Chain A
Amino acid sequence: MKTLIKLESVSKHFGNFRALSNINLQVDEGEVLSVIGPSGSGKSTMIRCINLLEQYDSSGSIIVDNKLVKKGKALREVRANIGMVFQNFNLFPHMTILDNVTLAPMRTGGLSDADAKKRAHALLEEVGILDQADKYPDQLSGGQQQRVAIARALAMEPKAMLFDEPTSALDPEMVGEVLNVIKNLADRGVTMIVVTHEMGFARQVSDKVVFMDSGQIVESGTPSEIFDSAKESRTRDFLKSVLSHEAYTNKR
C-alpha cells in the first residue's frame, strides 16, 4: 500500500519551548488515523505542521505524496492536496455557503464557474445541507457550519484530510451529525488524520490510533491495542480519566 503522509524525526520549537520532539509517523492511502492525548500535548501542532501552518524544525522532514513539505512555490500545491477542517469552522462569513465551497476550486483548482458549482452541489448534498446553499454562515447552526467546512475542504479533491477536533466547539446534540459525515468519508476510503476527544468514534472508525503526550508519540496501534490493552501507563491513565468522564456525561 502506498504511503501518503510521512513524518520523519519531526520536532517543533516555539522559542525555547519544545512542542514536538522527534515525531515519526506514517499514514497510508485510505488509512484513518486518530490522534488522542491530553490538552497541550502537541496534537494540533503536529497536524498543522503537515500543511505548514506551523514551520517544523529543520532537523526533520515531512513528505506528502512523495513531495517534501517546505516553503516555496510547491507549497500551494501540497496544501491543495490536503484538506483541513478546524475546530472553529473558519468559514468565510461574507460569502454564501455555495461561494465558500466554490472559491478555492475556481481560484486555484482552475475549475470553471459551472464545474465548481456542480462539484459544490454534489458535496453539499453529501454532507446534507444542499438546501442551505444560498445562506450565509451565521445563519447556520454550528453542526451545519462544520459540515460546510468539510465540503469546502473536499472541494479541492484532496488526497488526505486533516481534522483538528472537529466537534469540540459544538453543542452536544450536533456532535453526532458531524461525526457521521466523517465516518461516511472514512467508509468511502478517504485518507485522514483526526485529532479527537471522542473516544468511541476513534475506536469505531480508525485503522490506527496514536496517543501523544508532552510533544511525543507515546504509543500507537490498532484501536483495540490502544483502548483495550495499552502498554504504557500514561496511555492507560489518560484513557481512564476521559472514559470515566464520558461515562459520567453519558449517565446524565
Chain B
Amino acid sequence: MSYLKLISKFFLISIVALLSIAQSYGQDSDNQVISVGANIGNVPWEFQDTKGQLIGFEIDLVHKIASQLGKEVDIVNIPFSGLFSAVQSNRIDIAISSITITDERLKSVSFAQPYYDSDQSLTIRSDSSVKTVDDLRGKIVAVDTGSTGDIWTSENQQKYGFKEIRRYEGITPAVLDLEIGRTDGYISDIPAMQYYTKDKPNLEVIERIKTGGSYSMMFSKHNELAVEVNEVITSLKRAGYINDLHEKWFGTRAEASTSTAKTTAMPGSKEGVILNFVDTFLNKEVLLTTLPMLMLGLKTTIQLGFISIVLGLILGLALALLRLYAPYVVGFLAKAYIDIFRSIPLLVLLIIIFYALPFVGINLSPFYAAATALVIVSGAYTAEIFRAGIEAIPKGQFEASQALGLSYRHMMIDVVLPQAVKIVIPPLTNNSINVIKDTALASVVAMPDLLKQATQAQAIAANPTPLIAAAGIYLALLLPLVLYVSHLEKKYRLREYA
C-alpha cells in the first residue's frame, strides 16, 4: 500500500516537472512567434499542396491574424485528438483544425468567435447500397477520434443501430478503409468531405447531418491571446476578409447570416473555474464519466495481449526447434524468419497487414490484424529466447538422454525443455511485457484498445485525465510483471552461487 502511494507520488512529481518544462518552452517563444497546432491533411482547412507547401482556409486565416498582431507563425502537425492536451499544456498557443465549439470543451479550453457554420455528413462508396444514415443499421461506421462526428455517432448508435464505430486519426486512413470496404460509411465534417471528394468519383457525400456546430480557433483556458485573436477576427469579418477566404476555398460567398460573415461574441467559458493542476490532469468527474470507456479498452488490450503472448510462445518454440534441429533448408528458413521479423518495426508490419493485405484479398479486422502482427513479431523474439535457453543446456544432457534410448520427443519434453524453461522465464516475461505495451500501437488501425479509448475520451472531454488514468492502468497491469522478473532473476542468481 505505501509502496503504491510512493509510486503515485513519484508519478505526480514527474508530471509536474515535465509540465513546467513544457510550459517554460511554450512561454519562451510566446513573444515573437505564435505556435499553431494543426491536424495537417484536413482539407480544405490545413493541408499540403503538391509542392509540400502548407495551405488552406485556416492556414490563411491564422497567418493573417498573426500579421495583424505583429507576430510570426510556427505550425506544428498534431493529430486532432492530441490538440486538446497540446493547448492545455501550452505546447502550442493556438489549435486549428475545424474544431467545433462545444459546451463540454468550453469547460477546459477557450475559443475565439466562430468563423464557419458546419454540419456533419455521411460519405459512402459510390457503388454502395447505403443511401441514407438509416441504411447504416447493422453496419460499420467510421469517424475521426474525438471529433464532432464521433460524439454524434456515439450518441446516436442505439437510435440508428450502427453495428460498430471505428475511430481513425484523420481523413486518409478513414477513407482508405471505406474504399477497401472495411467500413460502410464515414461520418465527418461536411466542408472537408465535400472538398475531399471533389475529384474522387468512387466516393460520394450523400447526406447532411444537422449537428449545427461552428468552428473556431482553440486556446488554453483564460488565455489573453484568445481575446486578442477574437478582436482581430471581428475586424476581419467587418472588412469582408473571412468571406473572401470562403469564396477562395469553397467557390461561393457565405450568406450574411452565417458566422463567416456576421460578427458574434466570444464564447463564454463554462463553469468559470480556473483549472488548476489537479482539475486538469486528475479530474475526478472526467475520470468517473470516462472510466467505463477505459475499462472496455482495457478488456480489448488484455484480450489482444493474452492471445498474442500465447500464440507467440507456441510459434516461437516451434521456430526455435526448427532452427536448431530441422534439416538445413528448413532451419535456414526459420532463421531467415527470425532475423527478418526482429528487424521490421511492429508499426510498419501492422500497417502493411492492415492496409496492404486487402489488395491481395486478405481482409483482417483490426483485432486480428493487430494480433497477427504481434504474434509474428513476438514469435521471432521468443524463438531467439528459446534457442538461447536450449543452447544453454549442456551437451551431456542430450547425450545422457540418447544413451538411455529416450526418443527425441521425450528428450525434449522430459529433459531439455524443463531445464530451458527456467532459463527462459525471465526473458519471456520481459517479452510479454513488451507485447502488452505494443498492443497500444493497434490504435493506428482503429482498434479500440486502452490507449485508443483514452485518446477518444480525452478529446471528447477536452481534458487529459483519461490519458493519465490509462497510464495508471498500464502501470497496474505491468508493474507486477516487472517486479516478478526482478524477483526471478534474483532468485536464480542466488541459486547459482549457492
Residue pair B400, A86 in contact (C-beta under 8 Å):
yes
Name the CB-closest residue of A to B409: A107
Find residues 73-116 in chain A having any chain B CB closer than 8 Å to their own CB.
76-77, 79-84, 86, 88, 90-94, 103-104, 107-108
Cβ of A117 within 8 Å of any chain B Cβ, yes or no, is: no
Given A76-B407, A86-B396, A88-B396, the answer on whether A53 and B402 have CB atoms closer than 8 Å is yes
Given A107-B410, A108-B410, the answer on whether A84 and B403 have CB atoms closer than 8 Å is yes
Residue pair A104, B399 in contact (C-beta under 8 Å):
no
B interface, over-half SS: helix
Residue pair A104, B396 in contact (C-beta under 8 Å):
no
Given A92-B415, A94-B418, A94-B419, the answer on whether A104 and B404 have CB atoms closer than 8 Å is yes
Cβ of B397 within 8 Å of any chain A Cβ, yes or no, is: yes
Name the CB-closest residue of A to B422: A94
- Could you tell me the distance in whole angstroms from the C-beta of A75 to the nearest C-beta in chain B? 8
- Tell which of A77, A83, A94 has the most Cβ of chain B within 10 Å: A94
- Could you tell me the distance in whole angstroms from the C-beta of A69 to the nearest C-beta in chain B? 13
Cβ of B72 within 8 Å of any chain A Cβ, yes or no, is: no
Find residues 319-347 in chain B having any chain A CB closer than 8 Å to their own CB.
none
Given A86-B396, A90-B399, A93-B419, the answer on whether A80 and B405 have CB atoms closer than 8 Å is yes
Given A86-B396, A90-B396, A103-B414, the answer on whether A53 and B407 have CB atoms closer than 8 Å is no
Cβ of B274 within 8 Å of any chain A Cβ, yes or no, is: no
Name the CB-closest residue of A to B418: A94
In the assembled complex, the Cα of A92 lies from the Cα of B412 at a distance in Å of 12
In the assembled complex, the Cα of A20 lies from the Cα of B406 at a distance in Å of 27
Residue pair B399, A79 in contact (C-beta under 8 Å):
no
Cβ of A178 within 8 Å of any chain B Cβ, yes or no, is: no
Residue pair A104, B406 in contact (C-beta under 8 Å):
yes
Residues of A within 8 A of B422 (CB): 94
Cβ of A127 within 8 Å of any chain B Cβ, yes or no, is: no
Residue pair B400, A90 in contact (C-beta under 8 Å):
yes
In the assembled complex, the Cα of A153 lies from the Cα of B399 at a distance in Å of 12
Cβ of A152 within 8 Å of any chain B Cβ, yes or no, is: yes
In the assembled complex, the Cα of A15 lies from the Cα of B54 at a distance in Å of 68
Name the CB-closest residue of A to B404: A104
Residues of A within 8 A of B414 (CB): 92, 103, 107
- Could you tell me the distance in whole angstroms from the C-beta of A196 to the nearest C-beta in chain B? 18
Cβ of A34 within 8 Å of any chain B Cβ, yes or no, is: no
Residues of B within 8 A of A81 (CB): 405
Cβ of A144 within 8 Å of any chain B Cβ, yes or no, is: no
Given A103-B414, A107-B410, the answer on whether A92 and B403 have CB atoms closer than 8 Å is no
In the assembled complex, the Cα of A9 lies from the Cα of B94 at a distance in Å of 91
- Could you tell me the distance in whole angstroms from the C-beta of B488 to the nearest C-beta in chain A? 16
Residue pair B405, A156 in contact (C-beta under 8 Å):
yes
In the assembled complex, the Cα of A51 lies from the Cα of B400 at a distance in Å of 11
Residue pair B399, A107 in contact (C-beta under 8 Å):
no
In the assembled complex, the Cα of A51 lies from the Cα of B397 at a distance in Å of 15
- Could you tell me the distance in whole angstroms from the C-beta of A243 to the nearest C-beta in chain B? 31
Residues of A within 8 A of B410 (CB): 107-108
- Could you tell me the distance in whole angstroms from the C-beta of B389 to the nearest C-beta in chain A? 13
Instruction: Give the number of residues in B that approach A within 8 Å (Cβ atoms).
Output: 17
Given A86-B400, A90-B397, the answer on whether A104 and B405 have CB atoms closer than 8 Å is yes
In the assembled complex, the Cα of A156 lies from the Cα of B401 at a distance in Å of 12
Residue pair A51, B403 in contact (C-beta under 8 Å):
yes
Q: Residue-by-residue, is A183-219 near B (CB-CB < 8 Å gives 1, otherwise 0)?
A: 0000000000000000000000000000000000000
- Could you tell me the distance in whole angstroms from the C-beta of B294 to the nearest C-beta in chain A? 43
Given A103-B414, A107-B414, the answer on whether A92 and B397 have CB atoms closer than 8 Å is yes
- Could you tell me the distance in whole angstroms from the C-beta of B249 to the nearest C-beta in chain A? 73
Name the CB-closest residue of B to A92: B415
Residues of A within 8 A of B396 (CB): 86, 88, 90
- Could you tell me the distance in whole angstroms from the C-beta of A96 to the nearest C-beta in chain B? 13
Residue pair A82, B407 in contact (C-beta under 8 Å):
no
Name the CB-closest residue of B to A76: B405
Task: Give which listed residue, B394, B399, B415, contacts A53 with CB less than 8 A.
Answer: B399
Residue pair A107, B400 in contact (C-beta under 8 Å):
no
Name the CB-closest residue of A to B405: A80
Residues of B within 8 A of A82 (CB): 403
Find residues 396-439 in chain B having any chain A CB closer than 8 Å to their own CB.
396-397, 399-400, 402-407, 410, 414-415, 418-419, 422
In the assembled complex, the Cα of A51 lies from the Cα of B401 at a distance in Å of 12
In the assembled complex, the Cα of A76 lies from the Cα of B402 at a distance in Å of 8
Residues of A within 8 A of B404 (CB): 79-80, 103-104, 108, 152-153, 156
- Tell which of B399, B400, B402, B407 has the most Cβ of chain A within 10 Å: B400
Residue pair B403, A53 in contact (C-beta under 8 Å):
yes
In the assembled complex, the Cα of A12 lies from the Cα of B64 at a distance in Å of 89
Name the CB-closest residue of A to B419: A94
In the assembled complex, the Cα of A222 lies from the Cα of B407 at a distance in Å of 38
Residues of B within 8 A of A91 (CB): 400
Name the CB-closest residue of B to A86: B396
Residues of B within 8 A of A108 (CB): 404-407, 410
Residues of A within 8 A of B400 (CB): 84, 86, 90-92, 149
Residues of B within 8 A of A107 (CB): 406-407, 410, 414
Residues of B within 8 A of A90 (CB): 394, 396-397, 399-400
Residue pair A79, B405 in contact (C-beta under 8 Å):
yes
Residues of B within 8 A of A92 (CB): 397, 400, 414-415, 419
Find residues 151-168 in chain A having any chain B CB closer than 8 Å to their own CB.
152-153, 156
In the assembled complex, the Cα of A81 lies from the Cα of B422 at a distance in Å of 32
In the assembled complex, the Cα of A1 lies from the Cα of B403 at a distance in Å of 26
In the assembled complex, the Cα of A53 lies from the Cα of B92 at a distance in Å of 71
Name the CB-closest residue of B to A152: B404
- Could you tell me the distance in whole angstroms from the C-beta of A140 to the nearest C-beta in chain B? 15
In the assembled complex, the Cα of A94 lies from the Cα of B421 at a distance in Å of 11
- Tell which of A77, A82, A93 has the most Cβ of chain B within 10 Å: A93
In the assembled complex, the Cα of A80 lies from the Cα of B403 at a distance in Å of 7
- Could you tell me the distance in whole angstroms from the C-beta of B247 to the nearest C-beta in chain A? 81
Name the CB-closest residue of A to B403: A84
Residues of B within 8 A of A103 (CB): 404, 406, 414-415
Nearest 9 pairs of A and B residues by beta carbon: A80-B405, A90-B396, A90-B400, A104-B404, A84-B403, A79-B405, A76-B405, A107-B410, A108-B405
Tell me the A residues contacting B by CB distance below 8 Å: 51, 53, 76-77, 79-84, 86, 88, 90-94, 103-104, 107-108, 149, 152-153, 156
Q: List 11 A-B contacts (CB under 8 A).
A: A76-B406, A79-B404, A83-B403, A86-B399, A90-B396, A90-B400, A92-B400, A103-B414, A104-B404, A108-B407, A152-B404
